[in-house]
Amino acid sequence: MTGAALLALISIGTVGGAHLLSRARWTWRSPRTAIALWQALGLGWGVATIGALLGFALLPYDHGIVGGVPLLLADHSARLDVWHVAALLAAVTLAAVLLAMLAYAVVRVVRARRRHRALLALISRRDAAVPGTLVLDHPAAAAYCVPGVRSSKVVVSAGTLELLDPAELAAVLAHERAHARERHDLVLLPFASLRQVFPQIGLVGRCLDAVELLIEMAADDRARRHRSPRELATALLRFAAARPAAAPSGTLGVATADDIPVMARVNRLLQPVPLGRPTRVAATVAVPLLALVPLLLYALPH
């Protein structure tokens, strides 16, 4: 039972780790490291939880998960009692639901983007002042990226062109292109689908909120490689003051009307604090451990 017990402990530990990470602030100092840690936590939780259920279900075969599955498929003697059957059904159901909801999230986002791209083709225009960018004739402030496999589109409103000076606008466009280049939409998909599976669990919502803020910070960091941090910080403050509407479904916007995340981003842009080496090393080591150890335990005899 050692493997099943260890998988159960890892599953519980990842939930505790997600709770701590959702409230941590060191993550803001190195958002890319933190995003990788979030991804490892999510993967570790799913693999460990399903593995713990499978491990318990296959205990009568005494060959672990990898060795027990062939024995289960070849078994005609109904060796499993009601508790082991229940655990087996729970594992299969959880795996099926997680995969199905992830597929549904992908389909829904792809459809939303297709509809929005068709709408942009009708109502957007090109502007020589912002080459390679689509402009919407709308007075409200808006700037967002529509990610795509072959091409991504950056969209700004006429209100944005009036709100920002050329340097601030360039910083905002660099931020949106960073979203497209690093495919931050793919980072969000598993967490968004997890919230669909567990909509009533507050921790899941906090995890998604934390990852959303981190990808904005990661895009800020990439943008400031090419533009002054002060330019982007000023643009964020102007956007926050203009109270922009939420970005369309399936897109990634530069800023929201929520003052707290905006101020957190502005503060780190103007007063960056590097992540300490011990914390960075610990997080970097934790990522492969969380991702690989549960998988290795599948082969451990229970």
The predicted-structure confidence for 150-205, as pLDDT tens digits, reads as follows 778 899 999 999 999 999 999 999 999 999 888 888 888 899 888 888 888 899 99
Please give the Cα distance from 249 to 253 (Å, whole number): 10
Indicate if 39 and 118 belong to the same structural domain: no
Q: Give the domain range for residue 258.
A: 113-271
Indicate if 159 and 32 belong to the same structural domain: no
Answer yes or no: is 87 within a domain.
no
Indicate if 281 and 218 belong to the same structural domain: no
Indicate if 152 and 266 belong to the same structural domain: yes
Please give the Cα distance from 233 to 262 (Å, whole number): 9
Answer yes or no: is 219 within a domain.
yes
Indicate if 280 and 265 belong to the same structural domain: no
Can you give the pLDDT at residue 80?
73
Answer yes or no: is 167 within a domain.
yes
Top-confidence residue, 34 or 152: 34
250: confidence class by pLDDT, cuts 50, 70, 90: low
- Contacts of 118-121 with CB under 8 Å at 24 or more apart are 120/146, 120/153, 120/155
Total domains, the chain: 2
- Look at residues 207, 134, 125 and name the one whose alpha carbon lies nearest to residue 176: 134
Answer yes or no: is 91 within a domain.
no
270: confidence class by pLDDT, cuts 50, 70, 90: very high
Can you give the pLDDT at residue 166?
92
Is the model's pLDDT at 11 over the cut of 80? yes
Answer yes or no: is 6 within a domain.
yes
The pTM for the full model equals 0.89
Question: Out of 25-29, 190-194, 257-261, which region has the weakest mean confidence (pLDDT)?
Answer: 257-261
Indicate if 30 and 136 belong to the same structural domain: no
